[in-house]
Structure 1
Amino acid sequence: MAPHTHAEPMLLWASTTSVTLRTVSHDWLVPPGHGLWIPGRVEHTGTTRHAGELCVIRFMATRCPIDWAQPTGVAVGPLLRELIRYLRAEPDAASRRHAEALLFEVLRPLPAHSIQVPMPAEPRLRTITERLIDSPGDQRELAMWAAEVHSGVRTLSRLFLAETGLTFSQWRTRVRVRAAVGHLATGTSVKATARAVGYRKPSAFIAAFQRVTGQTPGTYGGE
């Protein structure tokens, strides 16, 4: 898709697909189950990486109180999910204004957008990184990925550091922590979140989370 703008602000919900949204200065990666608020008149281009459900709701700028200047990740909990589905199914309903007002009330930015996950351009690394973003709980180490993309471990290690500034392990940890923030923000327990993003022991997950964010998972809503 070519770069373009919309006058209206939009809410994108990647229900069962993954989306990459690019602006002039940044890439936003929206994994399944997450949302992204896109302000009006921000030039962007978007790509879905695999088949699945994607929903975009547009709002009239004149009655939208959200003033975020940049695309912003949002937590999509049960209530917000149902409001999105209602607005998609009933775009011209008389109650739309009431539904929109409630949506604006429950819309909350995710701290996850501040966890930077640099994306490599090299095709083999791109294959690995996109799959891990889609499935952050994938347990495969670099040796197994090397076999899958027909490369050597040393080559991939060198490329990871050169293209992202991070080792493979550091990069994967950031992806897991960013995915974890989305789970925690919607009420998922720390233990269940740890399992969902690939940690067998909650203690290992908590330690990794603190290294990346400087905070405990409980700060982001988990129990």
Structure 2
Amino acid sequence: MRAEANQYPEPANQAWRTASGSAEKSRAAGTAAASPILCIDRDTARDRELLRLHSHPEPMLTWSSSATLLGTVAGRDWLIPPGYGLWVPGGIEHSGSVLHAGEMVTISFSAGHCPLAWAEPASFAVGSLLREIIAHLHDIAPGDHSRPAAEALMFELLTPLPAHHINVALPADPRARAIAERLLAHPADRRELAAWAEHVHASVRTLSRLFRAETGLAFADWRAQVRIRAAIPMLAGGTSVSATARAVGYRKPSAFIAAFRRSTGHTPGTYLPRPR
């Protein structure tokens, strides 16, 4: 990844781990102590890039602005499409991979001073206001007078998605997994299971069995979940229902609306921004 970081002053990243008697460091540490953020990294994620399994005491969040990412946290897979993020508490093993290249942001927090008390991994949506605040915090100087208010608003806006939000289970078998990863990165791919079976050198019957056994859904239902999950941030960003339907692989908006209602209990229009 190509990283562009806004790192807080040295006391907020390094000196809090080492003792210092210098008056200058004491003054700087007092300033930095007001912020729980250690570093904000803006990266370019490249196709098929891997983050190996590791852990660290600092909690972190990763937000995708245009990449499609797959995180594995405490043995569970989390899809991170554009417009979504993932919270990883400190001390929990995690790894990741890039399904589709794009831009992403990672924010690391002080292990003992983060106001987010989320004990478990959680996904969250990044709306336009939260997106602009994160960009502002990345761009401004560490001592900028607007930073405390911007940080407070960022923490106020960060909200874990409810349990009923769409989660996409991924198959473990490498043949089914290859199909799943392709569709996660390109939900508009309209190939049916027979074409995928030829692509991964497996029978339709085998793939049907694998998807149902390892995701709990038939292939067509699993693909619909992927498409609806990809559609939500597009709708929230103001893309029309018909344009969103085409972008995620539906030829007719009516079919998209019906699938969306089955998955969420709501129509797509529910997720469109409200006029101010």
Same fold by TM-score greater than 0.5: yes
Aligned to 2:71: 21
Which 4+ runs in 1 deviate beyond 6 A?
Answer: none
Is 1:110–1:182's contact at 8 Å kept on the other side of the alignment? no
Q: TM-score, normalised by structure 2?
A: 0.69
Q: Across the two proteins, how many residue pairs are aligned to each other?
A: 222
User: Which residue of the partner structure matches residue 45 of structure 2?
Assistant: none
CA distance in 1, matches of 2:236, 2:160: 10
Whole-Å separation in 2 of the counterparts to 1:205 and 1:222: 19
Give, in whole Å, the separation in 2 of the partners of 1:41 and 1:194: 40
Q: Give the structure with higher Rg (CA).
A: 2
**Greater shift after overlay, 79-88 or 163-172?**
79-88
Whose strand proportion is higher, 1 or 2?
A: 2
In 2: Cα distance, 1:11 partner to 1:187 partner? 25
* Residue segments in structure 2 that go unaligned for 5+ positions in a row: 1-51
In 2, are the aligned partners of 1:190 and 1:222 still within 8 Å (CA)? Answer: no
Moved more, 81-90 or 193-202: 81-90
Q: Which digits, 9 at most, give the CA deviation of each residue in 1:80-122, with x for residues without a partner?
A: 2232233334462423222212222333444587323221111
User: Which among 113, 120, 135 is matched to residue 70 of structure 1?
Assistant: 120
Aligned Cα RMSD in Å? 2.7
**Residue matched to 1:179:** 230
Quote the sequence identity (%). 57
Task: Tell me if the contact between 1:186 and 1:221 (Cα under 8 Å) persists in the aligned partners.
Answer: yes
CA spacing shift, 1:188–1:74, aligned 2, 3 Å = farther
2:105 alignment partner, SS class: strand
Show CA shifts across 1:149-178 (max 9, x none): 233323322222232222110110111122
Between 1:211-220 and 1:115-124, the stretch displaced more is: 211-220
Q: What is the deviation of 1:213?
A: 2.1
Q: Compare the two structures and name the one with the higher helix fraction.
A: 1
Q: CA deviation at 1:52?
A: 3.3
**Higher mean C-alpha deviation, range 163-172 or range 77-86:** 77-86
Confirm or deny that 1:120 pairs with 2:143: no
- Is contact 2:236-2:272 (8 Å) kept? yes
> What residue ranges of structure 1 are gaps of 5+ in the alignment?
none
